[in-house]
Structure 1
Amino acid sequence: MSSHQTAVRFLLASRVRIAIGAAAAAVALAALAVVLLPADPPGGDAGDGPAGRRGNGLTAALSAPFSAFTEGYDCYRIPTLTTTKGGALLAIAEARTAGCDDIGDIDLVLKRSTDHGRTWGPMEVVRGAGDPGAYGNPVPVVDSASGRISLLHAYSAWAYDDTGTRVRGPRELRLAHSSDDGASWSADPHPQPHLKAPDWAWISVGPGHGIQLTPTAPDRPGRMVVSADYRTESNESGAQLLYSDDGGLSWLPGARWGAPEGTPAPNEPALTQLPDGRIYVNARSTATCGTSDHRVSALVDDASAPEFPAPGFIPVAGLTAPPASGSLLQLPGGPLLLSVPSRPGAEFSDRWTLAVRTSTDQGRTWSTDGAVVLRERAGYSDMAVLPTGEIGMLYETANGTPHGYVKFTAFTPRALAAAGEDLTPRLTPDAGPYRNHAVVHGGPRLGNRPDGGKSMRFDGKDDFLRLIDCPDELRLGEGDFAVAAWVKYKTRGQDRDSGARQPLVWGYGQGPDAKQFRIEADPATGRLEGTLNGGAGPVTVASRDAVDDDAWHHVVFQREGGRLQLSVDDDAPAVIEQPPGRLDFRPTGAFTIHLGTQPDQKAFYAGALDDVRIYGRALSDNDRARLRTGSDVSDQERVRLTFDRIG
């Protein structure tokens, strides 16, 4: 990745906010001096580099307890990590028998390690052997007095509907116990119907470990607390704490918080006890689009209280993360840690660059610095303190997807501090009215235009931009639209030989049934192609002539009425009638618009772009002429990327 970075930094819009405290967090971590672990060289997605300095990261994958398509299962997900009273390390996960779907035949499996996660014993099926039901979200808690391990988890049956789609049955919570450091488990399913309110349509726990609070009296075990989330039949969503005062033998519902209508709800909450005794909960937010705040948090003094105190769960500003579960860990005498993917974006596919962030003010703010565990795709994670004083972590990853394998790493607090790097996203600004700034990946360079302006140059390897957080103004597809850009490229020999197409602008999904729009370079003809797909197959219009002559050309791809048009410079546009019933490509869920790559990031553009604009209407001949001469056309302008700086 290029180290180029302009000296000019601009204020980020509300879509990407920044928290303060990186330096203080690093100092606090450095004070927890232990032996530094060796570091592997960085690898993976170079496109997710930080805005400033980039460290070597932490040691990735010391071992892999669960690997996809091994030991009778296709996929392993939802890892949890626990250190037993006897010093063993337990890795527990969902083992999915047919693909990686959330609904289906899912077992809970466990492996034990007696050498702090470097090697693992044979796999044990804790729940689900011979049972086609779905067991999920294992949440273990260890009683420090007796050593007993309580394992709360969810269970549901499932079936196929008339279309062959898997449908989940009613979901309930169950409980298992182990009194021998996880070597064996109680056989009774031990359902917990009292933990699910009668009007709840959904309940789950975790993911990740539960906690045991500091004992309030020498002769009493500390209270155990587990986090849960729920959804009522009237679609209220919220968080619930479950607690036990008898070492995990019995559990009761505690503090509850329901999101007010129209506000983000907490999902997959993680929790820890702060040094002052309060419980801090940090959860994935149900809000995905139109905001960069994808996490919410709350504080509670008493887990057994009927509800969370006001204000309940509020957005965590300045904590860049996609929708994903995270893990909390309060280091004794040190900072609060959160492990979660750090790539900005609103889609599940944005689960990249797993990092550990720190807070030195009990979760009120989080450092912009973080220690990267994996720069590649990574999903859920869970952390635990090992008997050595190291921090152990289980995390999800795979090739080309965030899920499938569960790997393990460990690092010391000192290594964590030393690996800190700036995770603030690099942006190039949108000069249009909506300020949809583009996130910069890889090392694209600012180049010069003959007219003295700037442009963005892509190397065809890992350079690309993204418009994220799926704002409503970029949900094109119901009516006319236009995408305009200056383009300069030359077809490379390797692309011509391989037939590899180069994506210039790609909006929304990918695949024959996905709603999308895109502009691509065809290496066989040297022409540009504009494509729409309303979900019933692509419709494509190509430029009349080749444009791969390494000269600047102004390109407009648009729809006017039922006609697709692609115009280059002042030539008459190429036109194709769009078939009836295939007009609407408006995305219904979260989406991203990519520049310089396609959604799966398996093809990249080699060339330059400038003055990329998106409109919610078609452009007239006069509009296109004005854009070519540098005049402003602002009516219904949704994006204007002039590439004058990267900050």
Structure 2
Amino acid sequence: MAYESSVPYRAGTEGYTSFRIPAVVRARSGHLLAFAEGRVSSAADSGTIHIVLKRSADAGRTWGPLQVVARNGSGTAGNPAPVVLDSGRVLLLQVHNAADATEDRIRRGRVPPADGRRVWLQHSDDDGASWSPLREITDQAKLPQWRWYATGPGHALQLRHGPYAGRLLVPANHSTPPTGPQDSGTEPRYNGGHALLSDDDGATWRIGYTDSYTDSHSHSGGDSDRSVAPNETTAAELPDGSVYLNARNEAAAAWRRVDAVSTDGGEHLVRPFRPQAGLAGPAVQGSALHLGDRGALLFSGPAHPAARALMTLRTSRDGGLTWRTAHTVGGLPAAYSDLVRLDRHSVGLLYETGDFSAYSTITFRRIPVEEPT
């Protein structure tokens, strides 16, 4: 099947060595806002990194000029997590840290809190053309004992249905300090996931559910390589108002995806994250999107069992219990992605891909979706 595609970001252009970590939303006007991390001097996850934006007025066929939305001096501004409010305002949550504060050093407790992962917010009231000053919300969004921290990455939610309609929900993840002097703090058992919640359009925030490492020996006497350590979570609201959550698993290789459900707007999980064998693939971020009252739940991510390759769109008609392949986007290397609804007949996929590396471009594709008869 042929797809319309465009390339908003290409490594080695526009003053950036690399572009990573895509996130996309559709503004109330219909404009698409494609965010990414613009990595200045290298492709590394730390250093001088800006949050950049390109906008499209024609559903992703062409893109306007690059805008720098957020800087952190010579340090890192990253993990864009945008959400479009009912009012039309676009909120952008993000995380900052010092240039030399690598994830490993942060997890090991070798970075002062002021240089570590801090949570910030800004907004746009003109579909991304201009942006407010940054406002820090770390004290509301992050527990003092948490070390590593990340929002999203990928789009966040404003809930539409049920008693929690209007609530903002931002999936996030964190790490905790090691439990003994010999621990480095980098092991999967120190990973956890949580949600940030706001009931006043982002004026104030609080932490909702939290979930951490689950050793399978505490359930059913399973093998340790079937443990769960949620990371890089994506969320989708189901028609009944419940929230489906799907996360990358940082524990051993048996289960690469794990999922959970919240029925109280992200305050708690019905049960902890558990394996989702229907979404086989490598350890990587993915994106979930529900198409509406009678539509399907979609998930995008690489489907190769071991490598970041074979970007695939999968679909569920039972709220994420079971999955089938809907579209194989391509067999090339591919990594992070984000989904956005374009219209009744199509979705957009913003994803990392390239001929020989998953990180050569951030490409946008229009993908047709099935509508129920």
TM class, shorter-length: 0.7 to 0.9
The match for 1:153 among 94, 100, 109 is: 94
| Alignment TM-score, normalising by the size of structure 1 | 0.51
1:250 aligns with 2:191: no
Spell out, residue by residue over 1:326-372, the C-alpha distance to the aligned partner (whole angstroms, 9 max, x if none). 11011111111100000002xxxx001000011111111111x3411
Q: Distance in 1 between matches of 2:203 and 2:129?
A: 18
Which structure's CA Rg is the greater one?
1
Paired residues of 1:148 and 1:247 also in contact (CA < 8 A) = no
Share of identical aligned residues, percent?
39
1:286 aligns with 2:246: no
The match for 1:334 among 295, 304, 308 is: 295
CA shift, 1:388, in A, is 5.8
Paired residues of 2:161 and 2:241 also in contact (CA < 8 A) = no
The match for 1:393 among 349, 354, 368 is: 349
Structure 2 counterparts to residues 120-131 of structure 1, below 5 A: 120-128=63-71, 131=73
Paired residues of 1:216 and 1:222 also in contact (CA < 8 A) = no
Q: Which amino acid aligns with 2:24?
A: L
| Alignment TM-score, normalising by the size of structure 2 | 0.86
Q: Distance in 2 between matches of 1:251 and 1:160?
A: 25
> Which sections of structure 2, spanning at least 5 residues, go unmatched?
103-109, 179-184, 216-223
Q: Distance in 2 between matches of 1:309 and 1:94?
A: 34
Paired residues of 1:266 and 1:313 also in contact (CA < 8 A) = yes
Q: Secondary structure at the match of 2:351?
A: strand
1:103 aligns with 2:46: yes
1:351 aligns with 308
Q: For the structure 1 residues 63 and 264, does the alpha-carbon distance in structure 2 shift closer, same or farther, using more than 3 Å as the test?
A: same
Q: Which amino acid aligns with 1:275?
A: P
CA shift, 1:412, in A, is 1.7
Q: For the structure 1 residues 394 and 304, does the alpha-carbon distance in structure 2 shift closer, same or farther, using more than 3 Å as the test?
A: closer
Q: Which amino acid aligns with 2:82?
A: P
CA shift, 1:243, in A, is 1.1
1:360 aligns with 2:360: no
Paired residues of 2:243 and 2:266 also in contact (CA < 8 A) = no
Q: Distance in 2 between matches of 1:397 and 1:209?
A: 19
Q: Distance in 2 between matches of 1:268 and 1:335?
A: 22
1:302 aligns with 264
The match for 1:315 among 263, 270, 275 is: 275
Aligned residues: 341
Q: Which amino acid aligns with 1:282?
A: N
Q: Secondary structure at the match of 1:201?
A: coil
Q: For the structure 1 residues 273 and 322, does the alpha-carbon distance in structure 2 shift closer, same or farther, using more than 3 Å as the test?
A: same
Paired residues of 1:288 and 1:323 also in contact (CA < 8 A) = no
Spell out, residue by residue over 1:70-101, the C-alpha distance to the aligned partner (whole angstroms, 9 max, x if none). 10001000001100111110000000012211
RMSD of equivalent CA atoms:
2.1
Q: Distance in 2 between matches of 1:202 and 1:177?
A: 24
Q: Secondary structure at the match of 2:136?
A: coil
2:117 aligns with 171
Q: Distance in 2 between matches of 1:174 and 1:321?
A: 32
Paired residues of 2:192 and 2:211 also in contact (CA < 8 A) = yes
Q: Distance in 2 between matches of 1:392 and 1:259?
A: 33
Q: Which amino acid aligns with 1:136?
A: G
Spell out, residue by residue over 1:244-299, the C-alpha distance to the aligned partner (whole angstroms, 9 max, x if none). 1112232221111122356321110000011221111011111243x1x2100001
> Which sections of structure 1, spanning at least 5 residues, go unmatched?
1-38, 41-58, 162-166, 418-647
CA shift, 1:178, in A, is 0.7
Q: Distance in 1 between matches of 2:319 and 2:344?
A: 25
The match for 2:195 among 241, 250, 260 is: 241
CA shift, 1:195, in A, is 0.9
